[in-house]
């Protein structure tokens, strides 16, 4: 393995996964994902997080290539999710005298997933672990995105090992640092990683950003995706915007339709919103586009309009799945419109109304429901819904460029 240094004696041990289709067995990763671990070689040797279990052999080999017969003294556990703790048992087996470093929440996870840990070192906010030349400081960032989550700040080179925070989908195709890659390509993957994985925990992310602002950080090394060293603001500004629900002018229109009647209603709304001068309009068929991408756009745009055909007294199943995901993530401050189509007793709009009551977004117009093919009167109503949405979107200030 070609060695990649973040600084003298600090090594990148990252592995690319181009085989897995779904991250967490939910989220599509057409461009793969990397699992990043880091190795600090000093008087004491420390690993920061490990990798997914599929890479254990290559990981152990890569460590040995760097440190030879020396022992690893510490395993810093910023985050216990198995894509990072997957090699923990193998590491303990290979280096039996190793000390696991974590906080008061970490070791319960170690025990429940792997084994009762023998040597542990419990850390808390501002705690410093001295490796020799390198001093590691710890900060807790609970629920970004698990309870035990913490970050490790290497004080000598000012590197923040941030766990999943500031991570990204997408493999590292040669380029590993932000100045070695085309960020235009990674932008969607960074945002999808944020919205899919961390998006439910925006208030916690905001708290973490404020807490970490006290550190003089020169480099951010996450457990997935690029290492940020040239323009930290690129990632920090985006995290701040997304986690504060700072939405742009635009609308996401999603529909679930078997035979096209609900789709026609969605097209009518989209056209009228465009006529009114709104340029960011994304129309999605809930059966075709995975919620990973739709959620991403919901975190971008203020407007959300959802339509559903009635299906067995309920919503169209794929719309229901999407809305359940939205309810769990509970993004704030959106404008909402709902519509649907039915043939006998309905079920689509009825359940969309329940969603609207729960999510408590600002409904711009009353629900619209058609029976079968769209009639002129319904078309007029849909235009009114589109106008109401456009009116509110046009009141928004121009977005700040980041």
Ligand X SMILES: Cc1cc2nc3c(=O)[nH]c(=O)nc-3n(C[C@H](O)[C@H](O)[C@H](O)COP(=O)(O)O)c2cc1C
CB atoms within 10 A of CB 376: 7
| CB of residue 314 to ligand X, shortest distance in Å | 7
Whichever of 72 and 266 has its CB closer to ligand X, that residue is 266
| CB of residue 209 to ligand X, shortest distance in Å | 43
| CB of residue 255 to ligand X, shortest distance in Å | 7
Distance linking the first and last C-alpha atoms of the chain? 36
Omega before residue 145 within 30° of 0, cis: yes
Whichever of 185 and 259 has its CB closer to ligand X, that residue is 259
Query: Which residue stretches of 20-104 are H helix?
Result: 56-67, 82-85, 88-94
> What residues contact 185, with CB distance under 8 A and at least 6 apart?
170
Max CA pair span of the chain: 79
Whichever of 63 and 253 has its CB closer to ligand X, that residue is 253
For the record, the structure tokens of 348 come out as 């689509």
| CB of residue 98 to ligand X, shortest distance in Å | 57
Do 168 and 226 meet the contact criterion of CB atoms below 8 Å apart?
yes
3-state class (DSSP) for residue 309: strand
Whichever of 95 and 316 has its CB closer to ligand X, that residue is 316
The alpha carbon of residue 302 and the mean position of all alpha carbons in its chain are separated, in whole angstroms, by 19
Residue 363: C-alpha distances to residues 65, 335, 339 (Å): 60, 6, 12
Whichever of 93 and 375 has its CB closer to ligand X, that residue is 375
Whichever of 103 and 262 has its CB closer to ligand X, that residue is 262
Residue 363, strand partner residues: 336
| CB of residue 368 to ligand X, shortest distance in Å | 13
| CB of residue 259 to ligand X, shortest distance in Å | 3
- Which of 88, 127, 129, 126 is CA-nearest to residue 107? 88
Whichever of 35 and 311 has its CB closer to ligand X, that residue is 311
3-state class (DSSP) for residue 17: strand
DSSP secondary structure string, 249-290?
Answer: EEEEEEEE-SSSHHHHHHHHHHHHHHHTT---EEEEETTTS-
CA pair distance 38, 47, nearest whole angstrom: 6
| CB of residue 289 to ligand X, shortest distance in Å | 16
| CB of residue 383 to ligand X, shortest distance in Å | 19
Whichever of 101 and 315 has its CB closer to ligand X, that residue is 315
Provide the binding-site residues for ligand X, judged by CB under 6 A.
257-263, 309-313, 341-347, 372
Whichever of 175 and 346 has its CB closer to ligand X, that residue is 346
Query: Which residue stretches of 100-179 are H helix?
Result: 106-113
| CB of residue 254 to ligand X, shortest distance in Å | 13
């Amino acid at each position: 393995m070609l060695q990649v240094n973040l600084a003298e004696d600090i090594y990148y041990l990252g592995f690319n996964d181009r085989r897995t289709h779904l991250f967490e067995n939910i989220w599509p990763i057409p461009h793969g994902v990397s699992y990043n671990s880091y190795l600090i070689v000093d008087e004491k040797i420390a690993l920061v997080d490990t990798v997914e279990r599929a890479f254990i052999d290559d990981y152990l080999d890569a460590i040995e290539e760097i440190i030879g017969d020396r022992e690893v003294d510490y395993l810093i556990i910023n985050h216990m999710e198995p894509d990072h703790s997957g090699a923990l048992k193998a590491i303990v087996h290979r280096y039996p005298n190793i000390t696991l470093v974590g906080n008061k929440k970490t070791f319960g996870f170690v025990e429940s997933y792997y084994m009762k840990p023998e040597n542990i070192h419990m850390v808390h906010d501002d705690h410093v672990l001295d490796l020799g030349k390198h001093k590691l400081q710890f900060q807790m960032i609970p629920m970004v995105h698990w309870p035990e989550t913490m970050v490790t700040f290497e004080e000598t080179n000012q590197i923040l090992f941030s766990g999943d925070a500031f991570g990204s989908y997408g493999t590292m195709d040669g380029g590993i640092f932000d100045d070695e890659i085309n960020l235009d390509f990674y932008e969607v993957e960074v945002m999808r990683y944020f919205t899919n994985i961390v998006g439910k925990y925006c208030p916690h992310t905001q708290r973490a950003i404020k807490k970490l602002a006290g550190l003089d950080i020169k480099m951010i090394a996450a457990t997935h995706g690029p290492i940020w060293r040239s323009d930290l603001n690129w990632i920090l500004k985006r995290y701040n915007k997304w986690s504060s629900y700072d939405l742009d002018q635009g609308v996401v229109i999603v529909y679930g339709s078997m035979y096209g009647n609900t789709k026609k209603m969605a097209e009518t709304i989209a056209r009228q919103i465009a006529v009114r001068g709104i340029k960011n309009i994304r129309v999605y068929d809930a059966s075709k586009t995975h919620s990973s991408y739709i959620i991403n756009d919901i975190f971008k745009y203020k407007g959300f309009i959802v339509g559903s055909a009635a299906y067995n007294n309920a919503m169209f199943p794929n719309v229901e799945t999407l809305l359940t995901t939205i309810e769990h993530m509970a993004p704030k401050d959106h404008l909402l419109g709902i519509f649907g189509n039915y043939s006998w007793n309905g079920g689509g709009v009825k359940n969309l109304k329940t969603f609207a009551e729960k999510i408590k977004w600002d409904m711009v117009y009353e629900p619209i429901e058609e029976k079968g093919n769209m009639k002129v009167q319904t078309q007029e109503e849909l235009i009114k819904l589109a106008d109401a949405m456009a009116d509110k979107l046009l009141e928004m200030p121009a977005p700040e460029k980041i």
